[in-house]
């Protein structure tokens, strides 16, 4: 598993007399909660900082764009799920349902790779977290985190499709995909191919899912730019030699335009 330390701007690599290498955190010993030499791998860290772009100066080499969906093209809010699911729980149940960019329960992961059906996902969540809701009510809450296609993204993707090979790469599930498809179908058609975790049996940040996209479409990493808002996914792409644009706000289309011109 790849550690966030490998790409964090606050970390440097140090060596001892025996040649062993360690990640030293610049926040360790200076800020509360951070260790100078954190146990590896680090998969989530509140102090993580990543440079927005790892592209070289040779912008003309980029021929392919692999683009994430949620948080990049489509607005989502993980907190809505946590609060919504809590409202469905038995008041006596103290288990916390956590769902975020960096952490999720195993049931969420199984659903995202298509290993369980929507009904099995509902039944598993109901049993584990003592939910008091029908499947219909459960799925209404599950879909409530999907806020809609971000303004201008359809036009952006259509324009990029005239100049680059485009591929969508999304961690998603059958229920969410069915819900957002009517709104996003026109945009999806602009991509050469859409790669969805629940159809592939794989999810980011595994290296295999990126390697599948590269191999199936004969893409060279050095000619490919990955656009994503989750740092752990960015880290894997970088380890494979893929250029990256780390999305931190809605201004990323302007950053992309600047980088590619």
Which residue in the block uniquely carries the two structure tokens 């030699």?
241
Query: What percent of the chain is predicted at pLDDT more than 70?
Result: 92
Contact 189, 213 (CB under 8 A): no
pLDDT value of position 7: 67
Task: Rounding to the nearest 10 degrees, give the CA dihedral for residues 232, 235, 239, 243.
Answer: 130
Give the burial class of 91: count Cβ atoms within 10 A of its Cβ; 0-12 exposed, 13-18 middle, 19 or more buried. Answer: exposed
Q: Is the pLDDT of residue 99 over 80?
A: no
Helix pair angle (231-239, 207-216), 10° resolution: 60
* pLDDT tens digits, one per residue of 139-166: 999 999 999 999 999 999 999 999 999 9
Model confidence, pTM: 0.79
Q: Is the pLDDT of residue 12 over 50?
A: yes
Q: Is the pLDDT of residue 65 over 80?
A: yes
* pLDDT tens digits, one per residue of 216-235: 999 999 999 999 999 899 99
pLDDT value of position 17: 74
Rounded average pLDDT over 20-30:
81
* pLDDT tens digits, one per residue of 158-199: 999 999 999 999 999 999 999 999 999 999 999 999 999 999
Ordered by where they begin, the domains of the chain are 1-49 (no CATH), 59-75+149-260 (3.40.50.1000), 78-144 (1.10.150)
pLDDT value of position 54: 58
Helix pair angle (135-143, 174-190), 10° resolution: 40
């Amino acid at each position: 598993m790849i550690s966030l330390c490998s790409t964090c701007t606050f970390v440097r690599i140090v060596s001892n007399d025996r040649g062993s290498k360690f990640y030293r955190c610049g926040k360790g010993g200076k800020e509360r909660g951070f260790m100078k030499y954190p146990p590896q791998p680090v998969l989530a860290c509140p102090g993580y900082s990543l440079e927005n772009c790892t592209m070289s100066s040779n912008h003309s080499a980029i021929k392919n764009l692999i683009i994430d969906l949620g948080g990049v093209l489509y607005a989502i809010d993980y907190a809505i799920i946590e609060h919504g699911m809590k409202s469905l729980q038995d008041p006596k149940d103290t288990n916390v349902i956590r769902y975020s960019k960096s952490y999720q329960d195993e049931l969420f992961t199984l659903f995202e790779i298509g290993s369980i059906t929507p009904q099995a996902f509902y039944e598993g969540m109901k049993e584990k977290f003592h939910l008091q809701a029908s499947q219909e009510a459960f799925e209404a809450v599950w879909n409530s985190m999907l806020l809609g296609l971000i303004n201008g993204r359809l036009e952006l993707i259509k324009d990029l499709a005239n100049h680059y090979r485009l591929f969508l790469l999304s961690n998603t599930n059958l229920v969410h995909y069915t819900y957002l498809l009517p709104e996003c179908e026109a945009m999806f058609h602009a991509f050469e191919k859409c790669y969805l975790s629940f159809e592939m049996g794989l999810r980011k940040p595994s290296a295999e899912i990126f390697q599948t996209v590269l191999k199936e479409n004969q893409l060279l990493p050095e000619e490919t730019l990955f656009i994503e808002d989750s740092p752990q996914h960015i880290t894997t792409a970088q380890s494979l030699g893929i250029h990256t644009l780390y999305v931190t706000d809605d201004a990323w289309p302007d950053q992309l335009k600047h980088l590619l011109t």
